[in-house]
Amino acid sequence: MSKPLVVVTGASSGIGAAIARAFSAAGHPLLLLARRVAPMEALALPESLCLSLDVTDTAAFKAAIEQAEARFGPVGCLVNNAGVMLLGQADSQDPAQWQQMLNINVMGVLNGVHAVLAGMKARRSGTIINISSIAGRKTFPNHAAYCATKFAVHALTENIREEVADLGVRMVTIAPGAVETELLSHTTDEEIKAGYHGWKESMGGVIAPEVIAEAALYAWRQPASVCVREIVLAATRQQP
- Which residues are part of the catalytic machinery? 146
Q: At what angle do helices 144-164 and 108-123 cross, to 10 degrees?
A: 10
Q: Closest Cα partner for 187 from 112, 89, 119, 87? A: 87
Nearest 5°: phi and psi at 181?
-140, 180
- The 3-state DSSP class for residue 68 equals helix
- In the DSSP assignment, the letter for residue 86 is -
Kindly report whether the peptide bond that precedes residue 74 is cis, defined as omega within 30 degrees of 0: no
Beta strands 126-131 and 30-34 are unpaired
As a three-state string, the secondary structure of 107-172 is HHHHHHHHHHHHHHHHHCCEEEEEECCHHHCCCCCCCHHHHHHHHHHHHHHHHHHHHHHHHCEEEE
Q: Please state, in angstroms and rounded to a whole number, the distance separating the CA atoms of residues 5 and 237.
A: 36
